[in-house]
Amino acid sequence: MELWSLLWGGGGCSLLGPPSSAGRSVPAFKQLAQPRSWPAGAEQRRSQDFLGNQETAIMAGKPTLHYFDGRGRMEAIRWLLAAAGVEFEEKYIATPEDLDKLRNDGRLMFGQVPMVEIDGMELVQTRAILNYIASKHNLYGKDLKERALIDMYIEGMADLNEMIIIFPIHPPGEKEAKLALIKEKTTNRYFPAFEKVLKSHGQDYLVGNRLSRADIHLVELIYNAEELLPGVTASFPLLKALKTRISNLPNVKKFLQPGSQRKPPMNPKSLEQAKKIFRLP
Amino acid sequence: MAAKPKLHYFRGRGRMESVRWLLAAAGVEFEEEFLETREQYEKLQKDGRLLFGQVPLVEIDGMELTQTRAILSYLAAKYNLYGKDLKERVRIDMYTDGTLDLMMMVAVGAFKPPAEKEETIASAVKSAKTRYFPVFEKILKDHGEDFLVGNKFSWADIQLLEAILLVEELDASVLSDFPLLKAFKTRISNIPTIKKFLQPGSQRKPPPDSHYVAVVREILQF
């Protein structure tokens, strides 16, 4: 498993196929032939070898996501930003050299991605990034106790999501067993827990009768689980209803449509690509 | 007077140790109920006290909190160890997430077969020396302050000290290239609440031994 945590710790995976649909406005990663020089004090403009879209992003105050063109650990961040109605840019890591450069430039605190440029900071560690975004956009409960509940729920979701994220990387011989494990955990541990929470208060949202990151992360998780295990939500009516409700929120609805920045699942080709980027056998 | 927090876990470090550190550093007295049998564990589950069927579980302020990070974040915020604003908080989150990753590498090592265990330990020590400790050394160097964030004692400092001591148990020389971390270690260890926690007789738990591993395996059945 260490190999895979290296893979995920050091980066996500790269989906280097053609863009999933025309009209996706994600800028391609490019480098200028010569670095520009910036005026002193332009702290935020360190990415001086990126093209104009990066400058625009910074000047417009849009967060910029640094990751592979794929889901991995960045997808939860994309979901949250999208649900919060926050426009963001993406800079894709396409080669091992791209990742090296970020590291050598000292932009990755622990040498790992995801990394998100936001509000003058270069944030790493998925949880730290999500916590920041959620707090900033009032999706983290109204007080400490609501936050504790949200944290408890989302940590459970993260545990299951982790299994799902890593699933494609297992060698073929292990996949069946891993899938059975994911199914077992989903249907016996996690989905029942969240169904019970919704049942206990009968409200439209998991915490505090108000939309929070917990709802966003859960709906993302439901979609992910359904991709792997079709029909898995069948015996969880309240989860189904939550999924429908959240999917119909305008920002989420938009994100779920083709042409958004939502990424497709990994496929064998993109897995090969990812291994190349990580220089893995 | 509010009831003391109550911790439910095995009699050992595992995922609960960071919680013990944080409570102790904050000067908060806490009780512990140790899981020693499968029956105790099953009872907690049957009584619906474990949201995802797992420990750690901490009873605090009328809540039954599970999920280590949820517990730690709550305590850090409650005891003013989480920075003064969102920007300080995100830095604390980045640092603690990093150190928690490192400590988890070590914790899982105890449950591996001997050859793998050695490899895991070596890998953790290497990560400490090449990925994590250089970062914290640089942070301290860049601002020249006594604490990691905001010139004030926070959860990040507690967790870093815990990680340093943990890795030192595996490799006593691990701080040899990190003079500021050495000074940091001394300084934070001398904070009265922490000093007390580091003394024999406190609720700090020893490193996992084969007995601990056996008990956990039996209770969790793996």
Locate A136 and state its tokens.
Answer: 């900033």
User: Closest approach of chain A CAs to the CA of B67, in angstroms?
Assistant: 6
Q: What confidence score (pLDDT) does residue A42 get?
A: 40
pLDDT band at A49 (very low <50, low <70, confident <90, very high): very low
Find chain A residues with C-beta within 8 A of B107's C-beta.
Answer: none
Contact at CB, A147 and B77, closer than 8 angstroms? yes
**What's the token pair of residue B114?**
């001997």
**Cα gap A167→A156, rounded to integer Å:** 17
B163 touches chain A (CB under 8 A): no
Nearest 5°: the CA angle A73, B88, A7 is: 20
pLDDT at A70: 92
Contact B9, B56 (CB under 8 A): yes
Contact A189 B52 (CB under 8 A): yes
Is A187 in CB contact (< 8 Å) with chain B?
no
Q: What is the pLDDT of residues A132-189, one digit of tens each?
A: 999 999 999 999 999 999 999 999 999 999 999 989 888 889 999 999 999 999 999 9
Tell me what the pLDDT averaged over chain B comes to: 96
Write down the mean pLDDT value for chain A. 83
Q: How confident is the model at residue A48 (pLDDT cuts 50, 70, 90)?
A: very low
Smallest CA-to-CA distance from A79 within A251, A259, A270 is with A251
pLDDT tens readout for residues B82-114: 999 999 999 999 999 999 999 999 998 999 998
For chain A, how big is the Rg over CA atoms in Å? Answer: 19
pLDDT-derived band at B143, boundaries 50, 70, 90: very high
Q: What is the nearest CA distance from A18 to chain B, expressed in angstroms?
A: 34
Lowest mean pLDDT among A21-25, A82-86, A127-131: A21-25
Q: How confident is the model at residue B1 (pLDDT cuts 50, 70, 90)?
A: low
Which of B57, B84, B94, B139 to substitute to test the interface with A, most A CBs within 10 Å?
B94
On the question of pLDDT at B220 being above 70, the answer is: yes
Does residue A66 or residue A272 have the better pLDDT? A66
Task: Find how far residue A83's CA is from the centre of its chain.
Answer: 12
Q: Are B95 and B148 in contact (CB under 8 A)?
A: yes
What DSSP character marks residue B79?
A: T
Task: Tell me the pLDDT band of A275, cut-offs 50, 70 and 90.
Answer: confident
Kindly report, residue by residue over B153-208, the tens digit of the pLDDT. Answer: 999 999 999 999 999 999 999 999 999 999 999 999 999 999 999 999 999 999 99
Distance CA B27, CA B7 (A): 15
Nearest by CB to A148, which of B65, B120, B135?
A: B65
